[in-house]
A and B are shown apart, each in its own frame.
Chain A
Amino acid sequence: MTAALRFDPIRLPPECEQLRKEVRAFLAEEIAAGTFDPHQPNREDTDAPEFSRRVGAKGWLGMTWPKKYGGHERSFLERYVVTEEMRVANAPTRRFFVADRQSGPVLLKYAPENIKMDILPRICRGEVCFAIGMSEPNSGSDLFAAKTRATKTDGGYLINGTKIWTSSAHIADYMIAIFRTSPPTKENRRHGLTQFLVKMKQPGIEVNPIQQITGQYEFNEVVFTDFFVPEDHVLGEVDGAWKQATSELAYERSGPERFLETYYVLTELVRAVGKNPDTRSAEGIGRLVAQLHTMRRMSVSVAGMLQAGKEPVVEASIVKDIGTVWEQALPHRVRDLAAFVEETATNRETLENQLSFAIKTAPKLTIQGGTTEVLRGIIARGLGLR
């Protein structure tokens, strides 16, 4: 077979079910205490520092990392359970999510020991927030066109330039960013970019929030002016950031957050149609649930491969492609079906408010973290077409 795609039927091990109960109980307590409202994904309180610390205290941040750095040496599948339960509950994960999923693993792999010992335990305690500095005003999907310069100076680098669409930069304590240390070469246009750890909230960094079409301020413009980064904040190989990106993508792209972002409208639709749906509603809900179940099984399968030490880059890209297209369409399909819901449904207003927010959220889902077009390019390469 040309395309040996593997999606083995991985099952979550028994210890995951105990953990799931603990996470659900914790979230129920938080909801009861008023930390967040699972029915209102459009809340303004998505940055919840105290909640972040309580999640850390539970041992649910840095779950797979070495104990030496504050981690818990648990499996990738256990982390999966925590992630999906938080997402389905619409828990306010913004403060810790990026650090836990992405930035921590990068530091583990590339940061010097003193930095690992300093920062990783604080991520695990839910104390620090990370942003990722990739896109620039003239370089989005085309990552390797980045122009923000890191110029060598005594003991480090001076940074000049602008990052944009940087989620959470306005609350972040750190950013992991790529900056240009050399021009690209004729042979390799990806050459010349270096990954850096940047300490935020300092002179020389200006963060300008950008309002999104949902009304929220999640992403930002970040302007660097002669900002100094010490030598030991280089992560990995100078000029070689392009070699470091690919293996992390599988982690970033296959998680439950890649199909559950608008899940809440499906729950609310099921509530609105009641116990005895008409044929059209039942058929519509049945299809959506079948699609959801399938994606989750694909996503768990990829998590199992990651746990087994494999690098399922193509499979992960497929999960994100299908998952984000699905979660983008979901509010529209739910809207189709909600048109037939009785006017008297008690949660009608909740459903309408949710739909309004989800429909406004939808366009970003196939853009953030790798556009559909980029993903399909990766899949095509995996198929041997490029």
Chain B
Amino acid sequence: MAESENIVAETAEKIFADLADAQTINRDKNGAWKAPLWQALSESGLPLSWVPEDCGGSGASLAEGFSVLSAAGRFAVAVPLAETMLAGWLLVQAKISSPDGEMTVAPASPKDRITLNADGSLSGKARGVPFAKAAKHIAVIAGDAKGLSIALVDAGKCRIDSGLGLGGDHSDTVTFDKVQPVTTKPAPKGFEQTHLMLMGGVARSLQIAGALESMLEISVRYSNERVAFEKKISKFQAVQHNLARLAGESAAALAAATSAADAIANATSFNDEVFLEAVAAKIRCSEAAEKGGGIAHQVHGAIGFTIEHILHRYSLRALGWRDDFGSESYWAVELGKLVANRGADELWPLVASR
């Protein structure tokens, strides 16, 4: 990791440590922590990390932005930081300036499609859009016969049906019923909706990996405190082996997610190799969320199943993030098709190319 990545990530870490402490947030039933956290993030330019300065952003690199998302995962941050970053990135593709405030993106699933009508309005439905209720604007990919466009839409003009993801954060259905965007511009040549899904998937992978790092940390700490059968439970071999497996899942998620982020940050296009990296990360991190999160709960016993304990902030979000921008099952089918299509003898060269 380069020095500058550390500085951006350290800024984010510091803000999270000051204003997004899991214990404090977990006790705050009114959500009073959200506004100061978002304000601090905005003042540091983090939500628009991926937007150049001439488009209203802070002009950080892709790598720097990804490191912010790892930190956001470690704190299970429940404001639309990743979503606003992705929206800013998407708008930049069509050289649209980003407005202030919270944003999200649509579609957030590879199966949904939004249509650009002849009169410039948008139609269609996007399901599972994270934080749509909290967003002031939505960055949208829409298509017509000529190809894809990118549009900036006032969220207030859309019908938004509330839903909640596993972690309790908004995951809403956004209906575009002849909505006129604030701005619409053609997407650059070669741009596909898949590219947003891969960026979103890598963002979620980094967040899951970060959440697993924290789950490992708090599980190890708990096992060294909790006494049962007259000794610390960390001294039981069965518990040690479970925690070793959690460390393995955390490590696998971290390796897959940071590798994919590095691949995208250094790529000139979304080719087969980048596709492999991005979807492998989403698949493997999603598997790790299940296996690793399960162990974290097992180690904690009943206390980890209570709403008062902070464990669920990480475990449920990590599970919920699996569903965004294409589930692991969806991407596994796509990756399997790609591998089959390239042929058996091209599998190893593809893996070894990374």
Residues of A at under 8 Å CB distance from B? 1-3, 5, 7-9, 11, 20, 84-85, 88, 263, 266-268, 270-271, 273-277, 279, 281-287, 289-298, 301, 314-315, 318, 321-322, 373, 375-377, 379-380, 382-386
Q: Are B336 and A277 closer than 8 Å at their CB atoms?
A: yes
Residues of B at under 8 Å CB distance from A? 1, 213, 216-217, 220-221, 223-224, 234-235, 237, 239-241, 243-245, 247-248, 250-252, 254-256, 258-259, 261-263, 276-277, 279-281, 283-284, 287, 328-329, 331-337, 339-341, 343-345, 347-348, 351-352, 354
Q: Are A322 and B252 closer than 8 Å at their CB atoms?
A: yes
Give Cα A276–Cα B334 distance, bound, in whole angstroms. Answer: 12
Report the minimum CB–CB distance from B296 to chain A (whole Å).
Answer: 13
Residues of chain B lying within 8 A (CB to CB) of residue A281: 336, 340
- Given A84-B352, A287-B332, A385-B240, A318:B248 Cβ within 8 A: yes
Q: Are B337 and A282 closer than 8 Å at their CB atoms?
A: yes
A-B contacts, 12 listed (Cβ < 8 Å): A9-B261, A285-B339, A286-B279, A286-B283, A289-B336, A290-B283, A293-B280, A293-B351, A297-B354, A318-B248, A375-B244, A385-B243
Report the minimum CB–CB distance from B257 to chain A (whole Å).
Answer: 9
Q: Are A267 and B332 closer than 8 Å at their CB atoms?
A: no
From A372, which residue of chain B is reached at the shortest CB distance?
Answer: B241
- Given A296-B354, A315-B251, A277:B240 Cβ within 8 A: no
Q: Are B336 and A282 closer than 8 Å at their CB atoms?
A: yes
Give Cα A279–Cα B334 distance, bound, in whole angstroms. Answer: 9
Give Cα A379–Cα B247 distance, bound, in whole angstroms. Answer: 8
Residues of chain B lying within 8 A (CB to CB) of residue A263: 348
- Given A286-B335, A293-B280, A321-B244, A273:B340 Cβ within 8 A: yes
Q: Are B352 and A20 closer than 8 Å at their CB atoms?
A: yes
Report the minimum CB–CB distance from A365 to chain B (whole Å).
Answer: 16
Give Cα A380–Cα B236 distance, bound, in whole angstroms. Answer: 11
Report the minimum CB–CB distance from A320 to chain B (whole Å).
Answer: 10
Give Cα A361–Cα B143 distance, bound, in whole angstroms. Answer: 52
Q: Are A5 and B250 closer than 8 Å at their CB atoms?
A: yes
- Given A88-B348, A294-B280, A296-B351, A3:B336 Cβ within 8 A: no
From A381, which residue of chain B is reached at the shortest CB distance?
Answer: B240
Known: A271-B345, A275-B343. 9 other contacts (CB 8 A): A2-B217, A5-B247, A5-B251, A88-B348, A286-B333, A290-B283, A322-B251, A380-B240, A383-B243
- Given A298-B255, A383-B247, A282:B240 Cβ within 8 A: no
From B250, which residue of chain A is reached at the shortest CB distance?
Answer: A5
The one of B237, B340, B344 that contacts A268, using a Cβ cutoff of 8 Å: B344
Give Cα A270–Cα B259 distance, bound, in whole angstroms. Answer: 25
Q: Are A386 and B240 closer than 8 Å at their CB atoms?
A: yes
Residues of chain A lying within 8 A (CB to CB) of residue B337: 277, 282, 286
From A317, which residue of chain B is reached at the shortest CB distance?
Answer: B244
Residues of chain A lying within 8 A (CB to CB) of residue B248: 318, 321-322, 379
Give Cα A297–Cα B352 distance, bound, in whole angstroms. Answer: 10
Give Cα A291–Cα B354 distance, bound, in whole angstroms. Answer: 14
Give Cα A383–Cα B299 distance, bound, in whole angstroms. Answer: 14
* Interface core residue of B223, B254, B261, B281 (most chain A CB under 10 Å): B254
From B214, which residue of chain A is reached at the shortest CB distance?
Answer: A1
Q: Are A385 and B284 closer than 8 Å at their CB atoms?
A: no
Q: Are A294 and B284 closer than 8 Å at their CB atoms?
A: yes
Q: Are A290 and B247 closer than 8 Å at their CB atoms?
A: no
Report the minimum CB–CB distance from A28 to chain B (whole Å).
Answer: 11
Q: Are A298 and B243 closer than 8 Å at their CB atoms?
A: no
Q: Are A5 and B254 closer than 8 Å at their CB atoms?
A: yes
Report the minimum CB–CB distance from B314 to chain A (whole Å).
Answer: 13
Residues of chain B lying within 8 A (CB to CB) of residue A2: 216-217, 220-221
Give Cα A382–Cα B279 distance, bound, in whole angstroms. Answer: 30
The one of B281, B283, B344 that contacts A287, using a Cβ cutoff of 8 Å: B283
The one of B241, B258, B277, B343 that contacts A270, using a Cβ cutoff of 8 Å: B343
